[in-house]
């Protein structure tokens, strides 16, 4: 059990007029959250958005899990940026995750910075922001917090858990650890363990943040500063991994930002340089640097087979969950080979699994973009699962 508060305000009403009703809500469990590190985190507040209505049987709930730099604003205008939700094309009336049929829940992960307890939250023992006193978290910890939320909502079994990238990791964790509570699962552009290459990119980002003189060993809140330059560089490096060589060529090639001559300086001569700088500068306005450190570390630690005798198949042994695994041809961040490892493990235990590799030149970010084949594939999978669940 716990307490919750509706903080929806006018924005919810405005979007309801546009056809998509949603609520922005917070929930605080009255139980501590036991972490993989052995520590207990309390209190834990979770910020989450909901779309659609929960049916009387509470059998139509879809949990949407967000990726590293995203948040709970999956299908509504973001209150801080004014931009459309990151899965606006997937969630809504008549869309693959149809809010006329399903009750969609999207929580901000523990360790985040959009209302859920994280490094910038007040430590009850000191009255100051946690900073680096916040305990290190894992993907499993994020999911345990979500279990508390789902319990609070009185939902025994989720119709579906879905997400891409880090959201896909949470989806796999749900399906492996709580198989009796997940009817169907959609892990997209993800992996069952973080690769050395991806750990390396994360470490570059963390080092950029920590090298910023305004970081102050994570206590920048007390200094009234932010490690903006370091976090911007981290974002720039990471953003390159979200795209493909083909998409970079199509968008930018070697086009110059202004005019047709070099400046013979170190400003943004090329359009791609200007683009990356823009990505970095806008990111620091909506994301906490310490949260970036904690969440990237959680992803680095993720290895679903590790707790199952180093056998990924054992992680899904006996599962009755229906799976649809999706990858993209140009995704070198979480390539098809990583996703096929999940499919092979599911096949090894005779799980009900579908797999599709979608032809796309948009790289890892394809799961967030307008990909008609992805939409039609997931619509078909969800409709079939709903029929089996008696929700058709």
Helix (H), strand (E) at residue 254: none
- Determine how many CB atoms are found less than 10 A away from the CB of residue 240: 14
Backbone φ, ψ for residue 262 (5° rounding): -70, 150
Instruction: Assess contact for 107 and 100: CB atoms under 8 A.
Output: no
User: What is the C-alpha separation between 147 and 156, in angstroms, rounded?
Assistant: 10
Q: How far is CA 133 from the centre of its chain?
A: 24
Instruction: Assess contact for 25 and 8: CB atoms under 8 A.
Output: yes
Active site positions, annotated: 165, 331, 364
Instruction: Assess contact for 342 and 185: CB atoms under 8 A.
Output: no
Reference 147, options 190, 189, 124, 179; nearest CA is: 179
β-bridge partners, 160? 62, 184
User: What is the C-alpha separation between 250 and 271, in angstroms, rounded?
Assistant: 12
Residues 6+ away with beta carbon under 8 Å from 67: 86, 163, 164, 165, 166, 167
Helices and strands per DSSP (H, E), number in the chain: 11, 13
- Determine how many CB atoms are found less than 10 A away from the CB of residue 269: 18
Mode of pairing for the β-strands spanning 22-29 and 45-51: antiparallel
């Amino acid at each position: 059990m716990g307490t919750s508060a509706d903080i929806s305000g006018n924005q919810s009403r405005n979007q309801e007029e546009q056809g998509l009703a949603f609520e922005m809500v917070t929930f605080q469990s009255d139980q501590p959250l036991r972490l993989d590190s052995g520590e207990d985190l309390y209190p834990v507040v979770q910020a989450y958005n909901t779309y659609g209505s929960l049916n009387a049987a509470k059998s139509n709930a879809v949990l949407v899990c967000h990726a590293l730099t995203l948040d709970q604003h999956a299908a509504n205008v973001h209150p801080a940026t004014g931009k459309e939700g990151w899965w606006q094309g997937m969630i809504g009336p008549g869309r693959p995750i149809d809010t006329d049929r399903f009750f969609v829940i999207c929580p901000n992960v523990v360790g985040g910075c959009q209302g859920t307890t994280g490094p910038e939250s007040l430590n009850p023992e000191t009255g100051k922001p946690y900073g680096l006193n916040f305990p290190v978290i894992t993907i499993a910890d994020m999911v345990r917090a979500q279990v508390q939320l789902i319990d609070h909502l009185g939902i025994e079994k989720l119709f579906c858990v879905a997400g891409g990238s880090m959201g896909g990791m949470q989806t796999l964790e749900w399906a492996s650890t709580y198989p009796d509570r997940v009817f169907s699962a959609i892990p997209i552009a993800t992996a069952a363990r973080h690769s050395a290459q991806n750990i390396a990119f994360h470490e570059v980002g963390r080092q950029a943040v920590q090298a910023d003189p305004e970081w102050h060993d994570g206590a920048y809140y007390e200094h009234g500063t932010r490690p903006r330059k370091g976090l911007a560089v981290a974002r720039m490096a990471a953003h390159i991994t979200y795209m493909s060589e083909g998409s970079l060529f199509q968008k930018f090639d070697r086009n110059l930002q202004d005019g047709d001559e070099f400046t013979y300086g170190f400003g943004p001569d090329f359009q791609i340089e200007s683009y990356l700088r823009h990505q970095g500068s806008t990111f620091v306005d909506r994301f906490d640097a310490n949260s970036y450190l904690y969440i990237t570390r959680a992803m680095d630690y993720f290895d679903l087979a590790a707790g199952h005798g180093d056998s990924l198949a054992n992680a899904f042994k006996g599962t009755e969950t229906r799976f649809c695994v999706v990858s993209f041809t140009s995704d070198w961040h979480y390539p098809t080979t990583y996703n096929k490892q999940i499919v092979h493990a599911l096949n090894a235990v005779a799980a009900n699994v579908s797999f599709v590799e979608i032809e796309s030149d948009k790289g890892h970010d394809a799961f967030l973009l307008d990909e008609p084949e992805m939409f039609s594939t997931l619509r078909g999978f969800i409709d079939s699962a709903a029929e089996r669940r008696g929700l058709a």
